[in-house]
Amino acid sequence: MTSDAATPVLAHVDMHLDESLERLKGLLRIPSISTDPAYKAECDKAADWLVDELADLGFDAAKHPTPGHPMVVAQDDEGEGMHLLFYGHYDVQPVDPLELWARDPFDPQVEETPRGRVIRGRGAADDKGQLMTFVEACRAWKAVHGNLPLKVSMFFEGEEESGSPSLVPYMKEHAEDLKADLALICDTGMFDRETPAITTALRGLAKIELVITGPDKDLHSGMYGGAARNPAHVLSKILADLHDENGACTLEGFYDGVPELSDAQKAQWDNLGFDAEAFLNGVGLSVPAGEKGRSVLEMIWSRPTCEVNGMTSGYTGAGFKTVLPSKATAKISFRLVGTQDPKAVLKALEAHIKARMPADCRYVINEPEGSSATTMPVENPAFEAARQALSDEWPKPAAFIGCGGSIPIAGHFQTILGMDSMLIGFGNDDDQIHSPNEKYDLTAFHKGIRSWVRVLDALSKA
């Protein structure tokens, strides 16, 4: 069902898709890797690019400095009724290992693949391609009707891939400028290629980097081996002990605040026909690794996890060096659900580390950070209106789903601005976000823009 207002806008989107794509490429060419200080100027450049883009669209747009990478905030007050705040992030993940990319990650191109045309490049799906679906929907609407059908603000950050250190302070300081009736966040995926989704359960995230020091320098393993404490052994023990033989996390109190799925929720998810085998096969695996007795969908949507994201110690170059390492380092993160307290989890982790630390080893915990899980209020009528709008665009009706990733911004909108968030995104499982050869389907981009046109229309009447 398409309204009179939306129909010509959808046609305009179809007509001008190539131009939309060229604009997306322009943004993808900027290597805005937020976690690496070497790319600071590039993050700034991406923010400027967005300010220019939004100003060109008639938004009152500006770049706002922070101690880290800048925020981009833009308003368009000409519409009537509900006020939306759209959020996205212009920063991207690092690209290493670069040798696994089939092309320069910052020279985006459209490629033909067995599953259709894609735009390939770092940030194509996470999150530049996604945020541009909304920007392009606004551009089309304005091109056809002059004014948007409701008040729209946009809010883009450049630190999402590096823990968003400036986000909360900025939101607290500028709460009045940012507050709206509803937040829209485009950083999530479809349920499958034909089924759009509104993500209503988001896991939280807690993380640390652990550095253990044993000897004060790398030693010769023949001279010191056996007698001198090897921090790689200490680290291995700490990491191995994080899970029991049933795949459960062993940290004291880890499962406090982890809710069981309601029967209704379980039934809805069972009905989605999720193919766990295909999900694992798609990445070269076949055996679910997590908690015994839980389905794969539960593991990735509603169960907390504990993962080692990286570790290093000693000599890791070509050949062999019989060194006894001085240091061993691991990056460890947790996905949190329900009311799990990130601070309590990190405290339990530190107790676990401490209990396994030999008297003459030292440890440092770097960059501890945590955010709680968030659950969205699906009883807000805007959710059902948006679900209908998405169902009109795609082959199958839209679903309310959980999400494995952490999108702390939704929690911040709730706690700092008292505002509900609606998470709608068009990513697919094979987009390889955070991996080499990231891509975004052209269908996702095209129908994503069209989806937002429909959602804007639907919300303007909700």
Task: List binders of a second copy among 41-70 (CB under 8 A).
Answer: none
For residues 202 and 180, give the distance between their C-alpha atoms in angstroms, rounded to a whole number.
21
Query: Binding to a second copy (CB under 8 A): which residues in 388-407?
Result: 403-406
51 or 242: whose CB is closer to a second copy?
Answer: 242
Does residue 225 bind a second copy (CB under 8 A)?
A: yes
First to last CA, the chain: 15
Choice from 24, 235, 458, 459 touching a second copy (CB under 8 A): 235
Choice from 143, 308, 357, 378 touching a second copy (CB under 8 A): 308
The length of the chain, given as a count of residues: 462
The helix or strand, by DSSP H or E, that contains position 389, with its residue range, turns out to be: helix 381-393
Does residue 329 bind a second copy (CB under 8 A)?
A: yes
Query: Binding to a second copy (CB under 8 A): which residues in 167-186?
Result: none
Choice from 4, 18, 22, 37 touching a second copy (CB under 8 A): 37
The β-bridge relationship of strands 83-89 and 151-157 is: parallel
Does residue 371 bind a second copy (CB under 8 A)?
A: no
For residues 215 and 362, give the distance between their C-alpha atoms in angstroms, rounded to a whole number.
10
Does residue 215 bind a second copy (CB under 8 A)?
A: yes
104 or 241: whose CB is closer to a second copy?
Answer: 241
For residues 76 and 78, give the distance between their C-alpha atoms in angstroms, rounded to a whole number.
6
Give the range of 8-16, 114-122, 331-339, 389-397 binding a second copy by CB under 8 A.
Answer: 331-339
DSSP-assigned letters across all residues of 40-61: HHHHHHHHHHHHHHHHHTT-EE
For residues 296 and 219, give the distance between their C-alpha atoms in angstroms, rounded to a whole number.
44
Q: How far is the CB of 65 from a second copy (least distance, A)?
A: 20
Choice from 35, 109, 113, 415 touching a second copy (CB under 8 A): 35
Choice from 32, 195, 230, 451 touching a second copy (CB under 8 A): 230
Choice from 181, 365, 434, 443 touching a second copy (CB under 8 A): 434
DSSP-assigned letters across all residues of 394-429: SSS--EEEEESS--HHHHHHHHHH--EEEEE--B-G
The β-bridge relationship of strands 197-202 and 420-424 is: antiparallel
For residues 106 and 187, give the distance between their C-alpha atoms in angstroms, rounded to a whole number.
20
Give the range of 42-50, 144-152, 256-264, 291-299 binding a second copy by CB under 8 A.
Answer: 291-299
Does residue 228 bind a second copy (CB under 8 A)?
A: yes
For residues 83 and 177, give the distance between their C-alpha atoms in angstroms, rounded to a whole number.
12
Distance of CA 377 to the CA centre of its chain: 20
Query: Binding to a second copy (CB under 8 A): which residues in 236-255?
Result: 236-237, 239-243
175 or 276: whose CB is closer to a second copy?
Answer: 276
Does residue 146 bind a second copy (CB under 8 A)?
A: no
107 or 360: whose CB is closer to a second copy?
Answer: 360
| Total number of residues that touch a second copy (CB under 8 A) | 99
Q: How far is the CB of 265 from a second copy (least distance, A)?
A: 18
- Which residue, among 323, 374, 94, has the nearest Cα to 221 in the 3D structure? 323
The residues with which 243 forms a beta bridge, in sequence order, are 249
Enumerate residues 6+ apart whose C-beta is below 8 A from 364.
210, 211, 213
Cis peptide before 431 (omega within 30 of 0): no
Does residue 113 bind a second copy (CB under 8 A)?
A: no
The helix or strand, by DSSP H or E, that contains position 205, with its residue range, turns out to be: strand 204-213
111 or 218: whose CB is closer to a second copy?
Answer: 218
Does residue 274 bind a second copy (CB under 8 A)?
A: no
Choice from 335, 352, 439, 447 touching a second copy (CB under 8 A): 335
Give the range of 56-64, 204-212, 341-349, 387-395 binding a second copy by CB under 8 A.
Answer: 204-212
